[in-house]
Amino acid sequence: MNARVRFLALSSLVMLAALIVASTYWQAWAAPDLANKNDNAIRQISEFTIDRGRILAADGTVLARNHVVHTNNRTYYYRRYPLGALTAAAVGYATQNRSRTGLERSASDYLTGADQSLAGALKQIGDRLLGSTIHGSDIRLSLNLSAQRAAMNALGANCGAAVAIEPATGKVLVLASKPSYNPNDVENHYGRVLGIKSPSCKSASALIDRATQGLYPPGSAFKTVTAAAALDSGKYTPDSSFYDPGYCIDYRQRVNNFTNHDQQGPESFGNLPLSKAFEFSVNSVFCNIGNALGIHKLMDYARRFGFGDKPPIDLPSSSLQASGLYSHGRLLSPSEDGFGDPGRVAFGQGNLLVTPLQMAMVAATVANNGVLMRPHLVDEVIRRNGKVDKLAPQSLGRVIKPETAAELTQMMEAVVSGGTGTAAQIPGVRVAGKTGTAENGPGRPNTTWFIAFAPADAPRVAVAVVLENQTGTGGTTAAPIAREIMQAILASTANSNP
């Protein structure tokens, strides 16, 4: 019988060992996945016992603070957002029932103090063991509140977004998305947030941050990238001459200029230099440049500006989108067949979709002599002991030569001084910009754009504005909004040394 007893013993041990294996699965492999489930209250509750740090605007105004509640012998720190919808796109929310978004999610390590040095981490482990409350650090953002307010007011009842960046550092000064929502409503009045409607777009989707997640056809605003590629490749100069018959031949088909509402002046310009074609947004010229450069050269430059990947901004990856060539909602990679039609992509149509953040990065790169800086919102981390860690600006490398940037700046200045973007003029300040008016099909309203930076000779701000469902052009609708944002920033930084 002993052989059978041994067999039974072995079977029992195998069963019990299987329990250890299964526990390992749940506690090691599946744990991160489960922790992020929406209906998992445990992690959220335990995080609400941490005294999270505050989120401050650049001027120290509190954007997120704690609301302390003592119940059942525990202290919970709930979040309150004093400015409500104004900064929702950047700050996001932290709730028990709906998890977290925005900086509340991506900067959580700072806010909970989990990012600290070894000594800090040891103290935190000590606090944990002793059951004392863990205190997080405050973070100060680069957001310029007066400009943010100007942007939200100027966007008004439109559906759209605006992003402003300090070109030399990559500091994000404005991150605005409309329609917006009040993050204080998310915990207990979520229906109110979901019910937000807008007269300007069918699906208001207020929770979507259009500045970083909204994918739009860039239209002529993309000509900035095409021109950068053309000039930087050495094949063209601003004076390179073109003949515009009023159309270009793309894949043996006529693509007419007159479908381009962004264009100003006659339907056919005849002979004209590249700089004029940029100033008046002439499609046929860019169509020919695109075909001459080829889709890969063109998109290679776009990639250097940051296209093809989610921008490396300090927001959660889930609220970012990569700009580039799309097919049925999927980002295409350059090795794929039918990657894109260079003629149409060159003037911002075809299957090209971009985010306002990406377009602001394009403007900021030109403004910063051709060097792209990593866009970021968190400027400094203020520890509980008063120590302040300033986060250094980070360069993402040179995108175009300084000479190319200088030539492009001149061309963009002409757009504002006498071309399609005159509505962006600021008295006494040299402004460089580019309009965009993207078609969404015959008879359907346009997506309008304006990207710009100022002052053109010593840029302190680069901006991108997008508006959905417009009957006007980028020059008449988006350019005035960009102007107001730039003015607000220039006014508030007038005393500081650029």
Partner 1 sequence: MSARTRELLILILVGLITATGFASVYIARQNEISPESLSYAGFFFVLYLIAHVVARFTVPDADSYLLPMAALLTAIGLTEIYRLGPTDALRQGLWVVIGVAAFAGTLITLRHDFRRLESYKYLFGLSALGLLFLPALPKIGHSVNGARLWVRIGSLQFQPGELGKIAMIVFLAAYLHSKQEVLAQGRPKDFGPLLAIWGCAMLVLVATHDLGSALLFFGIFLAILYLATARLLYVGVGLVLFLAGSAGVYETTAHVRDRVTIWLHPWTTQAIPCPGHTALMPRQECASYQLVKSLYSIAAGGFSGTGLGKGTFTLPSGGNLIPDLNTDFIFSALAQELGLVGIAAILLVFMLFTVRGFRIALVAGDGFSKLVCAGLTFGFALQTFIIIGGIVRLIPLTGITLPFISYGGSSVVANFILLAALMLISQRANEAA
Binding-site ranges for partner 1 (CB under 8 A): 1-2, 4-6, 8-9, 12-13, 15-20, 22-28, 30-31, 34-35, 37, 39-43, 45-46, 48, 69, 71-74, 76, 96, 128-131
Using only C-alpha atoms, what is the Rg of the chain? 26
Which residue lies nearer to partner 1 by CB, 71 or 496? 71
Q: Give 386's contacts (C-beta < 8 A, 6+ positions apart).
A: none
Which residue lies nearer to partner 1 by CB, 20 or 157? 20
Contact 73, 79 (CB under 8 A): no
Q: Would you say the C-alpha torsion 440, 310, 486, 92 has a positive or negative sign?
A: positive
| Amino acid in the structure at residue 333 | S
Reference 374, options 390, 392, 389, 356; nearest CA is 392
Could you tell me the smallest distance in angstroms from the CB atom of residue 32 to partner 1? 8
Which residue lies nearer to partner 1 by CB, 26 or 243? 26
Residue 328 CA to residue 309 CA, distance in Å, equals: 17
Residue 151 CA to residue 163 CA, distance in Å, equals: 9
Could you tell me the smallest distance in angstroms from the CB atom of residue 88 to partner 1? 24
Residue 420 CA to residue 276 CA, distance in Å, equals: 11
Could you tell me the smallest distance in angstroms from the CB atom of residue 195 to partner 1? 19
Angle at 76 between CA 70 and CA 77, to 5 degrees: 120
Q: Which residues pair with 448 in a beta bridge?
A: 437, 467
Which residue lies nearer to partner 1 by CB, 74 or 387? 74
Could you tell me the smallest distance in angstroms from the CB atom of residue 191 to partner 1? 15
Which residue lies nearer to partner 1 by CB, 45 or 121? 45
Which residue lies nearer to partner 1 by CB, 35 or 121? 35
Element (H, E) at 69: strand 62-71
Which residue lies nearer to partner 1 by CB, 17 or 458? 17
Residue 226 CA to residue 223 CA, distance in Å, equals: 5
Could you tell me the smallest distance in angstroms from the CB atom of residue 46 to partner 1? 5
Distance of CA 111 to the CA centre of its chain: 22
Could you tell me the smallest distance in angstroms from the CB atom of residue 18 to partner 1? 6
SS3 154: helix
